[in-house]
Amino acid sequence: MLLSQPRLILALDASSSRCSAVIWSEEPGAAASPGGQMMAGRVVASMERNGQTGDAARLPGMVAEMLADQKLVAGDLAAIATSVGPGSFTGLRASLAFGEGLASGTGIPVIGVTVAEALAVAARAEGAEAGDLRLWCALDSRNGRLFLHRGGAPEAWEVTNLSDPPLPRSPVGLTGDAAGTLGAVLQDRGFTAVITSARVCHAREVAIAGIARMRDRLPPLAATPLYIDPPRALPPRGGLRPPPRQPEWAL
């Protein structure tokens, strides 16, 4: 499919401690590469902030500033792509809710992208070596646990232990924040594991993967949070509120 004019894609990511937003311009005549994800286009605007995990409260202000700087409004966008996880429970829900809210008044679609899909775009951009390998995405789930995606359906994540991970049948390229630790384990056991620099998701690659999904070059995926573990219920940082005092007349 050829484009008659540039399409602007807003991409969001708050799956980790880095919160990012990008306006990506898909250029006229852009076509997917043989890999199916790399697209001709450019970053029109980009902002990122590092803070607490899933600090998606920053996104509305970041996006408003980018749109204003480019003299754009939400109606100028063709779609919104947002990461769906795995990642921060709060960050994913907040960024998806913001994307849905921004899109609701304009009728533009919201496209979900997994962290593995976005990191695969980044890894393939490194060069042919990473691009020719089967890519695994390994995310640190703490306490020696990993969330691992070894290909297949976007939702096909598994939980494994770093001490006893699945073993590859052929050389693999590793992405994700646990790529280094998993790579060391596999290399120690004699397997070829290329550790890429694609460690943390960024909205730039979310935009590119989102366009690939819009063009049916990636399998369908609902724009809903992708959780591997159920969210943890934690008490407020300031502690639980004391019970309300009864008025004197009720005593």
Domain boundaries along the sequence of the chain:
7-116+200-214, 128-195
The structure's pTM equals: 0.85
Strands (E) across 14-103 are located at 18-26, 41-50, 79-85
- Residue 71: predicted pLDDT: 96
Whole-number pLDDT of residue 86: 96
110-114 β-sheet, strand order: 41-50, 18-26, 7-13, 79-85, 110-114
Which of 149, 173, 145 minimizes the C-alpha distance to 160? 145
**Per-residue model confidence (pLDDT) at position 31:** 45
Q: How far apart (Å, rounded) are the C-alpha atoms in residues 88 and 236?
A: 17
Radius of gyration of the chain (CA): 20
Per-residue pLDDT of the chain (251 residues; tens, 9 = 90+): 344 457 999 999 999 988 999 999 987 554 444 344 455 689 999 999 987 655 788 899 999 999 999 999 999 999 999 999 999 888 999 999 999 999 988 899 999 999 999 999 999 887 645 557 899 999 999 888 999 999 999 999 999 999 999 999 999 999 999 999 999 999 999 999 999 999 999 999 999 999 999 999 999 999 999 998 765 555 555 555 555 555 555 55
Say yes or no: domain 128-195 is CATH 3.40.250. Answer: yes
d(CA 63, CA 98): 10
Q: What is the pLDDT of residue 17?
A: 85
Type of residue at 18 = R
**pLDDT (0 to 100) of residue 243:** 57
Look up tokens 């769906």; give the residue: 84
Cα–Cα dist 119/206, whole Å: 8
Examine domains 7-116+200-214 and 128-195 and report if their fold is the same: no
Strand pairing of 79-85 and 110-114? parallel
**7-116+200-214, CATH topology level:** Nucleotidyltransferase; domain 5 (3.30.420)
CA atoms within 13 A on the CB side of 185: 16
